[in-house]
């Protein structure tokens, strides 16, 4: 389910996508100058298997998390650079990345990992997320028309030691 989170600096108002489509154009224009819309995912609090890390303390420091991320990335970066013929980088995602653990920007040669996620999840999960994003780089440079989590991506993910799961069970 998607909603739009309208923030005016003081409060958030969640408007379901269906209601947003029914708003009059005049009302949308009225909101525009002082409200910023951002599409967000809404998680059902009763979803089975979902682990809420939002209030939990970090299990590692930023430096320790970065060492895990960087070490995992450096193992596969040379092969990724050979196949794509470009320099690849890994970095922390900015603060707005609160639902996905990481992403691969293959046209930029960049992999981003969410810092809050990296500091709170078990080491094995963090390594798997980095490998997941690296697999996107391999799969997309092999075939640009491949679906994001399709058969080619799954094969590449397993080749480099990733679980090849498309989602995680953490809220952070």
pLDDT tens-digit profile of 16-71?
Answer: 555 555 555 555 565 555 444 444 444 444 456 778 787 888 899 999 999 999 99
CATH class of 62-171: alpha beta
Of all residues in the chain, the percent with pLDDT exceeding 70 is: 71
Which residue, among 1, 15, 12, 4, has the nearest Cα to 37 in the 3D structure? 4
Give the residue among 156, 151, 152, 116 at the shortest CA–CA distance from 132.
156
Answer for the pair 155, 138: CB distance below 8 angstroms, yes or no: no
Beta-carbon contacts of residue 41 (< 8 Å; ≥ 6 apart) = 1, 2, 99
Among candidate residues 122, 125, 96, the one with its CA nearest the CA of residue 112? 96
Among 103, 120, 130, 110, CA closest to 169: 120
Q: What is the pLDDT of residues 150-160, one digit of tens each?
A: 999 999 999 99
Residue 128: its pLDDT value, please? 96
Question: What residue spans define the domains of the chain?
Answer: 2-42, 62-171
Tokens of 115: 């810092």
What whole-number distance in Å separates Cα of residue 94 and Cα of residue 105?
A: 14
pLDDT, tens digit, 9 for 90 and up, residues 124-134: 999 999 999 99
Per-residue pLDDT at 27: 58
Among 59-63, 73-77, 155-159, 166-170, which stretch is predicted with the lowest mean pLDDT? 166-170
Read off the pTM: 0.70
Which pLDDT does position 124 carry in this prediction? 94
Those residues with Cβ within 8 angstroms of residue 36's Cβ, 6 or more apart along the chain or in another chain: 6, 7
């Amino acid at each position: 389910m998607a909603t739009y989170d309208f923030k005016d600096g003081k409060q958030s108002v969640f408007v379901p996508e269906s209601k947003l489509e029914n708003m009059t154009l005049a009302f949308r224009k009225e909101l525009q100058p002082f409200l910023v819309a951002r599409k967000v995912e809404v998680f059902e609090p009763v979803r089975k298997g979902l682990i809420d890390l939002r209030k939990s303390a970090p299990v590692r420091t930023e430096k320790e998390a970065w060492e895990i991320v960087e070490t995992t990335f450096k193992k596969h970066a040379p092969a990724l650079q050979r196949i794509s013929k470009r320099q690849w980088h890994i970095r922390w995602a900015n603060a707005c990345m609160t639902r996905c653990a990481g992403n691969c920007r293959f046209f930029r040669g960049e992999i981003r990992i969410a810092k809050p996620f990296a500091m709170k999840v078990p080491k094995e999960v963090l390594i798997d997320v980095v490998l997941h994003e690296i697999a996107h780089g391999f799969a997309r440079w092999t075939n640009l028309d491949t679906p994001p989590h399709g058969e080619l991506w799954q094969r590449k993910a397993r080749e480099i030691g990733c679980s090849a799961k498309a989602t995680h069970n953490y809220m952070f």
